[in-house]
Each structure stands twice: as C-alpha cells, then as structure tokens.
Amino acid sequence: MYNLKDFGIEKSSGVLDNGSKIFHFHKSNAPISSFAIFDAGSRHDPIGKEGTAHYTEHMLFKSTKKFKDETETGLFLESIGGSANAFTGVDFLGITAEIGMREDLYKIVDFVHELSRNSLFEESKVNTERGTIFGEIADYESNPALYIQDLTQQVLFQETYAARSIAGTKETVEKISRDDLFEFYSSRILKNTMNIVTAGDADFNEIVGLFNNAFGHEKLSEPHFTQENLNLPRGNPVKIKLYKDTDQVFMGFSFRTCPYKNIDSTPLEVIRTIMGSGFSSSLYRKLRTENGLVYSLDVSSEGSFDRGYFSVITSTSKDKVQKVLHILIDEFRRLREGKILQEELELAKNKIIKEKFRKMQSSGSWAAFHVPEIIFNPENPLDLSDWLNEIEKVKLEDVILVSEKYFNSENWYLSLCGDVKESDFSFIKDSF
C-alpha cells in the first residue's frame, strides 16, 4: 500500500469562509503552486457565441483595478521569479500561479483575487484581444497536428456542447460583445465560489488565513459542476477536415468510454499504458519499431463529469493510412478477445506507479494531478496514493471486461485531417 508520506507529502483540506473548498499538499523545500478553478468552462457558452469562456479567460489578464494592462499583470509575479497563466476547458476555467519563496505567498492570493474579482473588461482591450483570438483560431485550424484534437472531440461528442470548439470560430467570436463577456465573468466567476488547490512549502493555516482575508467577506453560491451523463446517439462515426494537396494525414481513432468517476477509469488507464506509453508499448512497437509507419503516437484515456473517451492520435503518409488503421483495429480486437498477457499488465502497472515517483517532483505536478479528482470526484476525491493503490488492484479480467465493453464495432470513431475522403474507410465497419 502506498501513502503520501512515501512522497514526502502531507495533505490538508478545508472550506473558506465564503464557501470555497481548498486543498493543500505540503512538500518541504518546494516552491508554491496554486490552481483556482471556476465553474466557467465552454459548456456555458451561449449558443451562437461559442468561445465566450475562452475570450473571458483572455480578458482576465488585460486590466484590473490594480493592473492597468497585461504587462503589469505579468510583472506582479514575474518580478519575484514567479509565473502565472490561465486555461479554459470544456468543464472549467482555471487561474494558475507559482512562486519560489514562501515569503511571497500573499502575492498568489492577491493575484487570484485581483483577476477573479477586479477585472475591468475595458471596451478598447476587448476589441484588441478579439484580433489576438482570431489569430489563435487561424493558427489552430491551419495546423492539422493541432486541429486533429478538436476534430476528435467533434466526432466523439457530436450534437452536444462537448463537441464545440473551446476557442469558438471567427464568426462566433465576432458576435461576442463586451457585455457578453462581463455577464459571463460576473455570473460564472465573480459571484461564485471556487476550488483552490495549492502545493509546496507553505503552512495550510497561513494559506487559509490569507484567502479568508481576501475573499472571506463574500457570501457566494456554490458551483454545481456535476451533470448527468450525456445522451449520445451514434451519429456519423467518421469526420474529415480536408487539407488539400498534402501527403501527411493526421488521424484519431477513438471510442466513447465512461465519466471520470467510474470504476472503469482505472483499467482504462492501465490499457492506455499497455498500448501507448513508451518504446515498450504495443502500438509503438507495431506502428513504429516493426513497420516504420509513424513517428509519434499519443494514446489518451480521459473522463469528465458526463462523458469519457479513449483515443489514439498519430499521423502517417496518405498511402499508409489504411495499414495503420488495420494495426489499430487488430490491437483493439486483441484486447477485446482477451489475448492480453499477464506480463503486459504487470509491466504497465509498474510503469504507472514508478513513473509517478519520478515525475511528481514539482509543486505544479502535485496541484495539477489533483484538480480532476477534486472537480470530477467531489464527494470522495482520491489523493495520488489512493489512486496508485487502485492501479495496483487492476487484474487481467478487468482489462478484458473493459475492452469488451468499449472497444467494439458499434463504438469506434475516426477523425482525419488530410487529403482523404470518407469512402476510403468503409472497411472499418467489417474489420471488427
């Protein structure tokens, strides 16, 4: 059995005076990292104005009561060797901040308070940033290596909010006004509590005291992250974005799976490692080492409140696409038919567990790892040691049962960026 002491970590948690939940992972002699998470993901974007959450995230840095522009916002932490960022996902929006010395802890709290409570959304800066976002969207859509990720979500979760682009399109962003942004900010960030995750060499009571001094006077609504599972019809399992006159084809071969808080999530993580983690993984060997078909390979298993997916993303030349797909189909069939070996299972579990001892060396890694647990599993969030103990319990029959459940002929989805057409892939239906 593993515990947090094996990593030199002590966990604390509590609730601020304003109702916000806070979690801290104390690690001696480590810098301090924080995540402030808001129920403000792109799933809340108004229809026809997709990209509102992402646009709002950009505007948090543009000007506040204390910071006149983005330069001053960045300088606040950069002047003490720190860093800051923000991100928007489908399900939530986050503000991150990191510092090197405990004496500057108050600056993290000041920073989060200023962006989440005092952003100004000045009209002139809204208009300037619109151009920046147009550029971001154009960069993304013109690069098939990036856009394949977006296209994969579109085909997996078609006809739902989860299929919409987080950044929106040029047409939808054009429609978003300053009032739209400020309304989103007010309703989803300014007037709601948040989840705070911190890690590093700081005292938990000191952190709580600082956050209470900044936010404690508020009486706010509690965020309601949880949702029912998405109702997902089969739809068209193939989606293509045409990039004419290009030889390289980027592809995503995927399956819908389960929400994050589901017992199948742990075996799926083990399967992900068996198939696509490192030189020794089965797909790396079969696609690259043995056949030289691909250069890079990304295998992921992700879950959220109401959905999940398992995906293999890679690229190859146009004339080798079908061969790559045949190898992928054969590998998923092998799993489903129970031809997985005990030694593969043990290797995967050993990789997962010992890799965490190697990788979990920074405060940022500790905070980031626990955000999904705290958001998607709020009633009983696991810490890293709990999660590793669950990995250790996975048996061969678990891997086989989960593979039978999800990797079948009625549940595959294919996304392609390149100079190809849908009729080229009619063979897949009969290949399972």
Per-residue DSSP letter, 229: P
Phi–psi pair at 86, nearest 5 degrees: -145, 160
Residue with tokens 């006004």: 177
- The b-or-e profile of 195-228 (16+ CB within 10 A means b, else e) is bbbbbbebebeebbebbbebbeebeeeebebeee
Per-residue DSSP letter, 65: S
- SS3 (DSSP) at 192: strand
pLDDT of residue 224: 62
pTM here is: 0.95
| HSE value, Cβ hemisphere, 13 Å, CA-based, for 286 | 18
Asked whether the predicted pLDDT for residue 367 surpasses 90, the reply is: yes
The alpha carbon of residue 305 and the mean position of all alpha carbons in its chain are separated, in whole angstroms, by 12
Asked whether the predicted pLDDT for residue 393 surpasses 80, the reply is: yes
pLDDT of residue 227: 64
Which residue from 146, 175, 187 is spatially nearest to 49, judged by alpha carbons? 175
**Average pLDDT, stretch 297-312?**
97
- SS3 (DSSP) at 123: helix
Q: Tens of pLDDT along 159-200?
A: 999 999 999 999 999 999 999 999 999 999 998 889 999 999
Length of the chain: 432
Quote the tokens at residue 177.
């006004």
Strand 9-15 to 83-88 pairing:
unpaired
pLDDT of residue 226: 57
Which amino acid, 371? V
Q: Tens of pLDDT along 404-416?
A: 999 999 999 999 9
Quote the tokens at residue 304.
């959220």
Long-range contacts of 366-373 (CB under 8 A, 24+ apart): 366/9, 366/25, 366/27, 366/33, 366/199, 367/25, 367/33, 367/34, 367/35, 367/96, 367/197, 367/198, 367/199, 368/35, 370/23, 370/25, 370/197, 371/35, 371/37, 371/94, 371/195, 371/197, 372/260
Per-residue DSSP letter, 119: B
Q: Residue 224: CB partners within 8 Å, gap ≥ 6? A: 39
CB 412 within 8 A of CB 255: yes
d(CA 378, CA 366): 17
pLDDT of residue 222: 63
Quote the tokens at residue 385.
């040691």
Phi-psi region of 38 (alpha: psi -120 to 50; beta: other; left: phi over 0): beta
**Average pLDDT, stretch 363-384?**
96
User: 221 pLDDT band (50/70/90 cuts)?
Assistant: low
CB 313 within 8 A of CB 145: no
User: 431 pLDDT band (50/70/90 cuts)?
Assistant: confident
Query: Rg (Cα) of the chain, in Å, rounded?
Result: 23
**Average pLDDT, stretch 69-85?**
97
**Which is higher by pLDDT, 226 or 171?**
171
Asked whether the predicted pLDDT for residue 418 surpasses 80, the reply is: yes
Asked whether the predicted pLDDT for residue 216 surpasses 90, the reply is: no
Q: Which residues face 249 on adjacent strands?
A: 316
Quote the tokens at residue 136.
């971001």
The shares of helix, strand and coil residues in the chain, as percent rounded to the nearest 5, are 50, 20, 35
Residue with tokens 């939940």: 21
Strand 9-15 to 32-38 pairing:
unpaired
pLDDT of residue 225: 58
Residue with tokens 């009486």: 219
In 257-320, alpha helices (H):
265-276, 282-283
Which amino acid, 7? F
Largest CA distance in the chain: 64
Which residue from 320, 318, 309, 172 is spatially nearest to 245, judged by alpha carbons? 318
The alpha carbon of residue 232 and the mean position of all alpha carbons in its chain are separated, in whole angstroms, by 21
